[in-house]
């Protein structure tokens, strides 16, 4: 029965994973980490002696707190053998760069991997990544498999670069004989109520967005519930490697933006590039001014046959609009 | 197999194959350069030898299975068993309940065409949803009347050999390409759609460049056209789709008037995919496309500078501005040839053999060129 450590469990996707694992009778004890206060939803889970769930606040990007935590008595008592790393995906989560251009997300991934490799008890690492790491080529949409080319362009969009760095870090350990690494590449994650994660063009608060005129890329999507189920499946199997995951639907960016209250305004590509360059000059950082990117032009869908075959994962939730009590249409995920 | 001694010159790699292929095969000038060839076909002789090598050399279960069992049944079993794909068949025309026409545009279609659109729409994801490549039943329903008008009234398409189009399962239709703008692909798709029951939507493979064009990329995706990447091709055939392929690529549409109805060099990827998916190859000749916009001269340096595949001078372009790019109202004729069941002779493993793949590509090239010459 695996004992699981879950990172960033105070964020929406992490919370859902912890809840799912807690209700899973085949999971032993759970140690949840987060940067903020423990979510209220965990209060009930933390009752009992000894509690089946523990929560700790820790900055995963800092070396000293991480070292202290991984050598702590508290963690040793939980006899953790599986680590689930869910990178920070919240609003404006990048923060200041730590060293040079290394983002907080990549720094966290590096430390998590380092400690997972160093801790003798940990045999399994399940890392959540993004499917936006693939190099997007012209088309609307192209079908991508796990062997599709990763975008190694050093000038990739700043919203994507940390995900690519994280992917490469974990991918490098996939063949490790001591530590099983399962890397889950998720497309845009949507949740009931119009919440959306992991899409670089939809990150941040609700409101207007720009997209190049004449392009409306098809977006692969997955519900947050299915994403959590995929993590659960990866915890239970012994399969290693990278796995594409996606729900049954693919939705054009314009529709997805409308559904998640982030409607897109089409703007001629030339104007977008000019505006991006001006912003970059104003901020004295050309990358931060990059408004345009291949993810706003070229769509993709994912070949999920490997996850179906090796993880036994099949999506169970559909995404669509449903009429809520207030009479308005809201994005909902529904069990099929 | 990799021994180069047995490889025909025309089956070998090389940059400029447009002239090399017919000449290396001993073609002579005339309406059908292949009539003068000795029988049996030298490529067939080479392929016979290659087939014996494949069957005898390896325990290639798939290759032997394909040779010994019924072709169509084994193709279906292969897909169901190994890939877990069941080829969904749409309703036949007689099974479709035809609603009364709603809009003005829909009234332009005759009953048969409307019935076909309904049959196809039933087999596709419902309105408002999209398949993996962005195809939308709603967009297809809206675009079809325009394409139908072009088919019936503008290009006045005639066609024959529809019995060679597989009614179900994966297949690759290989056609010649020409005419600056890809109306030949659109007309072939409409023709297949109008002559199959249940109606099949051929998924045309388009160049990556089309994916970079504003609006065009969205329109192509919504009406079922797919960018030609390996993953896309594999996914289409694994899903039992009918794929329309122009292996000449851009070289086909930018060939000058002097090369009219002469096939250019074939890219060979389609052979690999057809073998792996065990799909038959149907040669198709599209006559008329090379006359719709004859290219007198291609200003290549200008095209490179502008990042375009071609900078043409035609009798009407650039003299009449963008209107000069409009295709002339030529009459199209589409001829479907007998399918080439290469997958029955060679198993999926044969796709790894570069020399064999080139030889098979040459064979398909000859089949399409022969079809063009016999009907032109």
Alpha carbon separation from B131 to A167, A209, A236, A300 (Å, rounded): 28, 25, 31, 11
Residue A58 has pLDDT above 80, yes or no: yes
Q: What is the pLDDT of residue B31?
A: 39
Count H helices, E strands: chain A? 9, 17
Residue-wise pLDDT for A95-154, tens only, equals: 444 445 568 888 999 999 999 999 989 999 999 999 999 999 999 989 999 999 999 888
> What b/e string do you get for A219-243 counting C-beta neighbours within 10 Å, with b at 16 or more?
bbbbbbbbbbbbbbbbbbbebbbbb
Q: Mean pLDDT, to the nearest integer, of B270-291?
A: 96
Q: What is the pLDDT of residue B40?
A: 56
Closest chain B residue to A218, measured at CA: B134
From chain A, pick out residues whose CB is under 8 angstroms from the CB of B220.
Answer: 140
- Contact with chain B for residue A270, Cβ under 8 A: no
Cα B228 to Cα B250: distance, rounded to the nearest angstrom: 12
Please indicate whether, in this complex, the C-beta atoms of A216 and B218 are within 8 angstroms of each other: yes
Q: What is the pLDDT of residue A101?
A: 55
Q: What is the pLDDT of residue B50?
A: 66
From chain B, pick out residues whose CB is under 8 angstroms from the CB of A145.
Answer: 231
Chain A window 154-213: which residues touch B at a Cβ cutoff of 8 Å?
Answer: 212-213
Q: Mean pLDDT, to the nearest integer, of B109-117?
A: 88
Q: Mean pLDDT, to the nearest integer, of A290-312?
A: 90
Q: Lowest mean pLDDT: which of A304-308, A323-327, B213-217? A: A323-327
How do strand A209-212 and strand A82-85 relate by DSSP bridges? Answer: unpaired
Q: Lowest mean pLDDT: which of A63-67, A164-168, A234-238, B119-123? A: B119-123
Strands (E) in B246-348, as ranges, are 281-287, 297-298, 312-313, 333-336
Q: What is the pLDDT of residue A285?
A: 57
Show the tokens assigned to A276. 């991006």
Please indicate whether, in this complex, the C-beta atoms of B214 and A213 are within 8 angstroms of each other: yes
Q: Where are the domains of chain B?
A: 11-292+327-375
Among partner residues B83, B129, B211, which is closest to A139 by beta-carbon distance? Answer: B211
Q: Which of B369, B318, B334 is nearest to B183 (CA)?
A: B334
Higher pLDDT, A13 or B68: A13
Mean pLDDT of the residues in chain B: 81
Question: Per the omega criterion (within 30 degrees of 0), is the bond before A271 cis?
Answer: no
Share of chain A above pLDDT 90, in %: 59
Q: Lowest mean pLDDT: which of A220-224, B68-72, B207-211, B225-229? A: B68-72
Quickly state the pLDDT bin for B51 (edges 50, 70, 90). low
Q: Lowest mean pLDDT: which of A31-45, A191-205, A295-309, B53-67? A: B53-67
Cα B325 to Cα B183: distance, rounded to the nearest angstrom: 12
Residue-wise pLDDT for B177-200, tens only, equals: 999 999 999 999 999 999 999 999
Alpha carbon separation from A243 to A177, A182, A230, A305, B368 (Å, rounded): 18, 7, 10, 9, 41
Please indicate whether, in this complex, the C-beta atoms of A299 and B213 are within 8 angstroms of each other: no
From chain B, pick out residues whose CB is under 8 angstroms from the CB of A139.
Answer: 208, 211, 217, 221, 226-227, 229, 232
Please indicate whether, in this complex, the C-beta atoms of B211 and A140 are within 8 angstroms of each other: yes
Q: What is the pLDDT of residue A331?
A: 85
For residue A51, the tally of other CB atoms under 10 A from its CB is 13
Q: A137, A187, A211, A218: which to substitute to probe chain B, counting the most B Cβ within 10 Å?
A: A218
Share of chain B above pLDDT 90, in %: 62
Among partner residues B211, B215, B235, which is closest to A298 by beta-carbon distance? Answer: B211
From chain A, pick out residues whose CB is under 8 angstroms from the CB of B229.
Answer: 137, 139, 142-143
Share of chain A above pLDDT 70, in %: 93
Q: A134, A140, A220, A268: which to substitute to probe chain B, counting the most B Cβ within 10 Å?
A: A140
The ipTM (two decimal places) reads: 0.87
Residue B87 has pLDDT above 70, yes or no: no
Please indicate whether, in this complex, the C-beta atoms of A252 and B235 are within 8 angstroms of each other: no
Closest chain A residue to B85, measured at CA: A305
Determine contact, residues A58/A81, Cβ cutoff 8 Å.
no
Closest chain A residue to B205, measured at CA: A139
Residue B8 has pLDDT above 60, yes or no: no
- Contact with chain B for residue A214, Cβ under 8 A: yes
Residue A287 has pLDDT above 70, yes or no: no
Determine contact, residues A5/A28, Cβ cutoff 8 Å.
no
Q: Does domain B11-292+327-375 have CATH number 3.40.1130?
A: yes
Residue A7 has pLDDT above 90, yes or no: yes
Chain B residues with a Cβ under 8 Å from any Cβ in chain A: 83-84, 129-134, 208-218, 220-221, 226-227, 229, 231-232, 235
Please indicate whether, in this complex, the C-beta atoms of B227 and A213 are within 8 angstroms of each other: no
Query: How would DSSP label each residue in A170-198?
Result: HHTTTT-SSSEEEEEEE-EEEETTTEEES
Q: Lowest mean pLDDT: which of A37-51, A272-286, B124-138? A: A272-286
């Amino acid at each position: 029965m695996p004992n699981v450590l879950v990172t960033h469990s105070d964020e929406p996707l992490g919370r859902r994973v912890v809840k799912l694992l807690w209700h899973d009778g085949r999971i032993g004890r759970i140690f949840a980490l987060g940067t903020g206060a423990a979510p209220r939803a965990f209060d009930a889970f933390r009752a009992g002696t000894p509690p089946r769930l523990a929560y700790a606040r820790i900055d995963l990007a800092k070396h000293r707190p991480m070292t202290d935590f991984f050598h702590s008595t508290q963690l040793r008592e939980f006899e953790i053998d599986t680590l689930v790393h869910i990178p920070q995906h919240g609003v404006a989560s990048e923060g200041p760069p730590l060293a040079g251009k290394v983002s907080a997300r990549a720094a966290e991934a590096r430390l998590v991997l380092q400690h997972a490799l160093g801790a003798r008890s940990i045999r399994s690492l399940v890392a959540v990544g993004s499917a936006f790491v693939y190099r997007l080529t012209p088309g609307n949409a192209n079908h991508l498999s796990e062997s599709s080319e990763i975008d190694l362009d050093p000038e990739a969009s700043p919203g994507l670069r940390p995900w690519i760095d994280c992917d490469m870090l974990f991918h490098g350990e996939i063949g490790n004989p001591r530590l099983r690494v399962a890397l889950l590449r998720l497309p845009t994650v949507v949740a009931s109520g119009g919440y959306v994660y992991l899409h670089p063009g939809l990150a941040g608060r609700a409101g207007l967005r720009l997209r190049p005129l004449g392009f409306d890329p098809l977006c692969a999507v997955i519900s947050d519930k299915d994403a959590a189920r995929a993590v659960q499946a990866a915890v239970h199997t012994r399969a290693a490697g990278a796995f594409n995951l996606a729900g049954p639907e693919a939705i054009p960016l314009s529709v997805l933006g409308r559904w998640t209250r982030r409607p897109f305004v089409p703007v001629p590509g030339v104007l977008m590039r000019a505006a991006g360059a001006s912003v970059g000059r104003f901020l004295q950082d050309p990358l931060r001014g990059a408004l345009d990117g291949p993810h706003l032009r070229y769509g993709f869908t994912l070949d999920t046959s490997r996850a179906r075959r090796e993880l036994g994962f099949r999506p169970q939730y559909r995404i669509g609009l449903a009429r809520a009590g207030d009479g308005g249409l809201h994005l909902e995920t529904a069990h099929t | 197999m990799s021994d180069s001694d047995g490889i025909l010159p025309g089956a070998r790699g090389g940059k400029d194959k447009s002239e090399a292929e017919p000449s290396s095969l001993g073609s002579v000038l005339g309406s059908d350069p292949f009539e003068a060839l000795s029988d049996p076909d030298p490529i067939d002789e080479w392929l016979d030898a290659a087939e014996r090598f494949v069957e005898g050399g390896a325990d290639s279960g798939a290759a032997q299975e394909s040779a010994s069992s019924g072709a169509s049944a084994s193709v279906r079993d292969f897909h169901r068993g190994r890939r877990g794909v069941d080829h969904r068949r749409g309703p036949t025309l007689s099974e479709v309940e035809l609603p009364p026409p709603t809009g003005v545009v829909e009234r332009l279609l005759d009953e048969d065409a409307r019935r076909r659109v309904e049959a196809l729409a039933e087999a596709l994801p419902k309105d408002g949803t999209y398949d993996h490549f962005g195809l939308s039943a709603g967009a297809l329903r809206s675009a079809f009347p325009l394409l139908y008008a072009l088919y019936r009234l503008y290009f006045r398409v005639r066609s024959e050999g529809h019995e060679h189009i597989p009614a179900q399962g994966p297949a690759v239709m290989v056609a010649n390409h020409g005419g600056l703008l890809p109306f030949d692909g659109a007309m072939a798709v409409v023709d297949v759609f109008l002559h199959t029951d249940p109606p099949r939507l051929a998924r045309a493979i388009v160049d990556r460049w089309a994916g970079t064009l504003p609006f065009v990329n969205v329109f192509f995706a919504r009406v079922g056209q797919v960018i030609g990447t390996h993953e896309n091709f594999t996914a289409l055939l694994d899903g039992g789709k009918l794929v329309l392929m122009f292996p000449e690529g851009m070289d086909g549409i930018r060939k000058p008037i002097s090369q009219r109805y002469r096939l250019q060099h074939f890219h060979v990827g389609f052979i690999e995919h057809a073998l792996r998916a065990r799909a038959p190859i149907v040669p198709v000749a599209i006559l008329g496309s090379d006359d719709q916009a004859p290219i007198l001269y291609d200003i290549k340096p200008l095209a490179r500078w502008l990042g375009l595949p071609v900078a043409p001078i035609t009798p009407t372009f650039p003299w009449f501005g963008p209107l000069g790019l409009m295709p002339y109202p030529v009459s199209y004729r589409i001829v479907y040839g007998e399918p080439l069941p290469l997958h029955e002779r060679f198993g999926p493993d044969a796709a790894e053999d570069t020399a064999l793949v080139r030889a098979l590509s040459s064979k398909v090239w000859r089949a399409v060129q022969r079809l063009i010459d016999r009907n032109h």
